[in-house]
Every structure is written in structure tokens, then in C-alpha cells.
Structure 1
Amino acid sequence: MRILVLANFGMGLYNFRKELLEELIKQDNEVYISLPDDEYVPKLEKIGCKFIDTHLERRGTNPLTDFKLLLNYVGLIKRVKPDVVLTYTIKPNVYGGIACSITKTPYITNITGLGTSIENNGLIQKITLMLYKLGLRKASCVFFQNQANRTFFEDNRIVKSKTRLIPGSGVNLEQHKSEEYPMCDDKVRFLFIGRIMKAKGIEELFEAAKLVKEKYPHVQFDLIGGTEENYNKKLDELERLDLIKYHGRQDDVHSFIKKSHATILPSYHEGLANVLLESASSGRPVLASRVPGCIETYEDGLTGFGFEAMNVDSLVNAIIKFVNLPYYEKREMGMAGRRKMENDFDRNIVINAYLQEINLIINKENYNESIREVS
């Protein structure tokens, strides 16, 4: 069987879907991956994927460029002749879905989050929803990572296909194993992992760091992630003032999680936050916005603390509440988070959901083929 995967960058595919790709290859399937070339492509090829370099502007809104992407996907599907296509993130979901409809190819879509284009009201939102409606129209199954996104798509009649709720991308419990909780003798270390951009709540985090450090100078804020918006000057300034420590992009986030006392994510919206799953799996409490995609990952007061998105005071209060917890309560929060990941977010749950849907598609195609032969 040939399986084609459409994605927008290699990091997400490798870090969060590698185990699914490995399982598909293990079952003697040919797995093709279509995405822009980056440093993760050799890693994906090493596990057995066949790479097809595909130009894609993740944040561009040029209609001509997007139309070229659609034509590219149509041509690609006709060349590869996949039995099923898997799509991730907005442009592969939309234009890959339309291309599959045109070529009458079965496909499974994963809504990894609404994204800024849908979260913000206006013309861009209307256009995006219209395109999504076209892209999802003939999907064999649409996976959602949180119930709020699923409800939004169904209430707005964007999706009429079969839908399933999955626990995000799940978490690899072996890779992100439970780590011994570090002592808090001289520092309490908070870790932010994510793209340095407004929608991740980075501006609120900057302001909170200033306010918290005034009263609690022993608190340290470590930031990991590439800058997708113009925050370089601000990062340099805050580092000079010893308010944050910025570590740039890192391939090995687990080593940073291991040294931290809690992970913090003030995001405005998420599909389902992988950084929170990985942190909780490692035995670290999480402090996160009370928004869909974050609230599913923690139990307020038990495995972490929630706070209101876009609200500096609420964020500061959550940080201070955690700082003032006794050491054993911090550690117990981390242990409770690990148990939650084991029970609800094992990545094998996601892999099995995909295998079930792919088997349904193949069995249906085989049945239809046998009917045609009899006729």
C-alpha cells in the first residue's frame, strides 16, 4: 500500500508523528512525505520515508502561490497514486484535501488547531472557513485534537465527514520518561517551549517575568523556540536585564524539561499543546492558559495551574502561587501529571486510531473493487 503524507515542515512530522510513520513502514507500506526540505528530512528518510520536496509558504496569503500549491498536489497525487493521503496543518489540509477530491483519492485530515486566520474574525476568517469546507468535503475521516475545535467545525457546517476526537498527537512515554524532580534550593525554573510569537502569549510572559522577578529574584524564566515575529531586540533587552534566558531553537527539549520545575504556556489557542504533554510526561507541573488545547492537558490544582489567556495579572498570580508551594507539593503535581499522561495521552492511542481508519478505507476500496469485478 502507498501512503502519502502532506505536511508543512519536518520538525512537527518527526517529533510528533514519527512513531506512526515507523508503524506504517513496519507494516510493509510505502510512505511518501511531501513538505519543504529542512534539517529533519534526512531523519525522516532514515526511518524509511520517501521524500518529495514541495514548496509551501506556511504563513503566506498569496492566492496565486496557493493555487500553484493546489496544482502541485494534484500532479503529485497523480504521480504517486497513493491508496490513502494523510494531511496535517491548514494548507495541506485545505489544498491537499481539494486535490484528493479532484483525483478521487481517499484522505484523512488532522485539524491540529484553528490557527490565527480562524481565531481572528474578519475577511481572512471567512475565506479560510470557505476553503476548509472545500478541503474537508470528501474526507474519509477528520481527526480533531480538542472538542472545542470539533464543535466549532460542526456548528459552522464546515465538516460533514466522519469525525473523531484524538488526544492531540499523544506523547511518547518512553522518550519523555518520568524524571526525578529537581531541588528548589537556589532557583525555581520555569520553562517556555514554543515559537516566539504573539499568539503564544509571549508578550504577557515578558511582562509577567518583569513583575515576578521584582519580588522573587530567584525565579528563572528559560525560553526555547525560534522567533517567527520580530522579537529579537526585545529578547536581547530582557536577557541583558537578567529577566529571561533565551536559548533559541533546540532539538533536545527534554534535557531542558528535566532541569525545570514547571513548564509555562500562555498561548491564545492550541490544537493540543505537545509541549505540555511532554512536560507532564516527564513529571513536571504545567502552568497554562485556560483555552481549548491547553485545558485538556492539566487538572487545575492537581497537575498544574491554569490562568486566563491575554491576562498578565492572572498569569503572575499563577506563577506566584506555584513558587510559594512547598517542594513536596510541586513534586507531587509532577507525579500526578505523569499519571494523567499514562492514562489519557499515550501516543499509541493516536497510532491505533490512524491504523483503524486506514484499514476501513482499504477494506472499503477492496470491497468496491470486488463489486466492480463482479459487475
Structure 2
Amino acid sequence: MKILILTNYANGLYLFRRELLESFMADGHEVIVSVPPDENVAKLKNLGVSIVETAFNRHGMNPAKDFALMMAYKKLIKEIKPGFVLTYTIKPNLYGGMAARLTRTPYICNITGLGMAIENGGIMSKALIAFYKTATAGARKVFFQNERNKKFMQDRGVAKKNAGLLPGSGVNLTAHPFHEYSSEAEGIHFLAVIRIMRDKGIAEYLEAARNITAEYKNVYFDLVGEYEEDEREVYEPLIKEMEDKGIITYHGHLDNVEPVMAESHVIVHPSYHEGMSNVLLEAAACGRPILCSDIHGCIEAIEPDKSGFTFEIKNTKSLEDAIRKMLSLSEEDRAKMGKLGREHIEKHFDRQLVIDAYKKELENVHQS
């Protein structure tokens, strides 16, 4: 059949769902991806999928533009006549889900995270939840990436009868092998792999780096990630200044973070909200101990006090205390934490689990 995928970011689809697309094509399905155009679209084309460039602003709400997006999705579905529509991220879930429902096309929504607009409450939160309730009502399945997000939405009437739970995007355990713990002879490296924006905790990470490097002489902080354009002017000068002072090493955006992760000793993830952090899944698969925000979407990736420690979100002091706690351990203890993390990922987060869940839903439609 034809499978139409609606998403807001080509690179996210490529990095975390490539194996799913390849599995669909290996089964003989035609895969079409609707996504805003950017330099990453070529990666999807190289996989053999067809691309429909659908431009929209991933952030903010504009009723006229958002209605136009829904109509564009509806038109696209009518033209392509897919056997199934898969949606990822907020706007494709809402407007793509609604378009699929209106055209009576089987569809699956994947709620990769709730976002602060929903989490913070208020009128905007109520409006989005009401929209989600309508947009997902006709879905064959509404996948959530952690139990807390699932319960939060179901308690508010969303996906009460068609919800499913996935282990995030899972990890390709072959593409992300275990790496022996690096020697700490030349210092201990903490690494954050995050999109550079407020909601990912960049301010807390930078402040912690400033304070900890002033306290410890053998501790270093690394950063991988691309700037969120709306916040570039805030963080780019600050990161440049901290680089010049030797407080942090910024590696830019990397499609393959594995080499940097393997050379690091501890992975830090100070995000304010997550569906399920792919970074943490890959970090644990690599065999590195983790420091992460004490929120669902992060804590599932660790066994507390065995493969990592948590800290309070939006709290620099709590993050610094977690770093000091990690530094109080021996090199052998940190290496052991990394090995336990790998074992945890192997048991619970193999990406094949995600592929199998999607294929099961497709098979159910084909048989009905």
C-alpha cells in the first residue's frame, strides 16, 4: 500500500525512524513523506522515499495558516489516496490527524511529547487538548512514548480507547553498539546533546559548566546540537564567549554523535519535557552513565542510582549537585554504571519493538 507520513522535521524522521521506513519499503509499500523543506530532505530521498515539501512554522499558532495546513493535508491525502497515514509531532498530529479523519483514511498518531503549551495549563492548554481529542478520535492507534503522557491525556479525554505505548523511538542496538568506558587520565568529560533552546535546559547546563569548571580542574563540558533559530541570538554569543574562555567545547550539529559520545564519560540531559529522549537511549546504549531531568521521558532511560542520577528541572543547583555526586564516584563505578545502562536498554528499548508495533497496526487494517 501507499503509506503517507506527516512530520515537521526531516532529520528527526531520518535519525530515529529510518529503520521503520526501510522496513515498510522492504515489505513492498510505497512511502511518501510530507515535511517542511530543508537541507535534511535529501537524506530521506536517498533512502528511496518520495517527498512532498509542505512548508509550515513548527512553532506558534496562527489560525489562518494552521487551517491552510489542514486543508493542504486534506488535499494531499485525496490526491495520493494512501492506505495509511502516520503522523508525528504536534501540528501534523492535529491537522494531519483531522485531515485523515475527514477523508476516512486509516491513520496512526504518535505523540512524541506534550510540550510546554499543554503542560503549563491555561486556555491554550485546554484548546490544544480539545483539538487533540477531536483529531485523534478516529485514529487506529494513538502512540504515546511514556506512561505519564498517556495518563495525562487520557485523564482529559484524549485517546481513551485507542492509546498505545511505545518505548520512544527505540534504539538500533547494532548501529549504536556498546563502547568501553574511556580513560579519565586526561580529565572527565560531561556531554549534552540537545537542541539549543530554553526548553532543553541549555541555560542551566551552561551555568553549571561555568560553576563546576571553576571548582574542578579536571572536568570538561561538551555540547552538541543545532540552534533553535528563534533563540539563536540569545545563546550563540554566550556559547562563543564560554568557548573563548575554555569553559565549554561546542561541536556544532552532528548527524553522527556516536564518536563524541564514546569519548565522553557522562551524558547530561537537562530538558524540561520529553516524550522519550532519543539522546538518553543512545547514551545508555553506548554505555555511558546519565544525568537527566527528573521527568517522564527521561527517567525511563535509566535505572535510578544504578545507571544514572536525576535532578530537578529548571534548577541549576540541583544539576550541579548531581554532577558533584557523579564526580564523587570512582572511575570504575562510573564505568559500571554505563554497563548497567546498556543492559537496561537491551531489555526494554530495542527499536525492533517499535517497528513491530507499527507493522501490527498495518496488518490489522489490511485484514479488516
> TM-score normalised to the size of structure 1?
0.95
Corresponding position of 1:223: 223
CA distance in 2, matches of 1:47, 1:202: 33
> Which residue of structure 2 aligns with residue 337 of structure 1?
341
Q: How does 1:1-375 map to 2 (within 5 A)?
A: 1-228=1-228, 229=231, 230-364=234-368
SS in structure 1 of the partner of residue 353 of structure 2? helix
* Superposed displacement of residue 206, structure 1: 1.6
Of 14-23 and 125-134, more deviation after overlay is shown by 125-134
Question: How far off is 1:124 after superposition?
Answer: 2.0
Shift of 1:50: 0.8
Q: Which letter maps to 1:238? A: M
What one-letter code is carried by the residue in structure 1 that aligns with 2:22?
A: E
Distance across 2 between alignment mates of 1:59 and 1:167: 26
Report the alpha carbon displacement of residue 312 of structure 1 after superposing the two structures with TM. 1.5
Q: Distance in 1 between matches of 2:54 and 2:350?
A: 31
- Name the structure 2 match of 1:370: none
Give 1:322 shift.
1.0
User: What code does the residue aligned with 2:265 have?
Assistant: H
SS of equivalent to 2:102:
helix
Runs of at least 5 residues in structure 2 that lack an aligned partner in the other structure: none
Deviation for aligned residue 1:164: 1.0
State the Cα distance separating 1:244 from its structure 2 match: 1.2
Q: How many Å apart are 1:154 and its aligned residue? A: 0.5
* Segment of structure 1 superposing worse, 44-53 or 79-88: 44-53
Per-residue deviation, residues 305-337 of structure 1 (Å, max 9, x unmatched): 111111212111110111221111111111111
Shift of 1:199: 1.0
- Structure 1 position 48, deviation (Å): 1.7
CA distance in structure 2 between the aligned counterparts of 1:196 and 1:307, rounded to whole angstroms:
19
Structure 1 residue 117: Cα displacement: 1.4
Say if 1:89 and 1:111, in contact at 8 Å, map to a contact too. yes
Question: How large is the RMSD of aligned CA atoms in angstroms?
Answer: 1.1
User: How far does the alpha carbon of each residue in 1:111-130 deviate from its partner, in whole angstroms, 9 at most, with x for none?
Assistant: 10001211222222122112
Residue in 2 that maps onto 1:373: none
User: 1:369 is matched with which residue?
Assistant: none
Instruction: Quote how far apart the aligned CAs of 1:131 are.
Output: 1.6
Aligned mates of 1:362, 1:242 — CA distance in 2: 58
Secondary structure, aligned partner of 1:171: coil
In 1, Cα distance between equivalents of 2:188 and 2:308: 15
Paired letter, 1:251: D
Unaligned ranges ≥5, structure 1: 365-375
Match of 1:58, SS? coil
Deviations 1:27-68 (A, max 9, x none): 000111000122222221222211111112100311111111
Task: Output the amino acid matched with 1:344.
Answer: H
Distance 2:217 2:64 in 1: 52
Alignment check: 8 A CA contact 1:139 1:161 kept = no
Distance in 1 (alpha carbons) for counterparts of 2:60 and 2:80? 27
For 1:50, the aligned partner's letter is S
User: Residue 161 of structure 1: CA displacement?
Assistant: 3.9
User: Identity of aligned pairs, percent?
Assistant: 46
CA distance in structure 1 between the partners assigned to 2:24 and 2:251 by the alignment: 35
SS in 2 for 1:315: helix
Q: What secondary structure does 2:287 align onto?
A: coil
* Secondary structure in structure 1 of the residue aligned to 2:59: coil
Cα-to-partner distance string for 1:63-98 (whole Å, 9 max, x where unaligned): 111111001000000000001100000000000010
Output the amino acid matched with 2:349: F
**Count, aligned residues:** 364
| Separation of aligned partners in 2, 1:291 and 1:331 | 24
Code of the residue aligned with 2:366 in structure 1: it is I
CA distance in 1, matches of 2:239, 2:208: 14
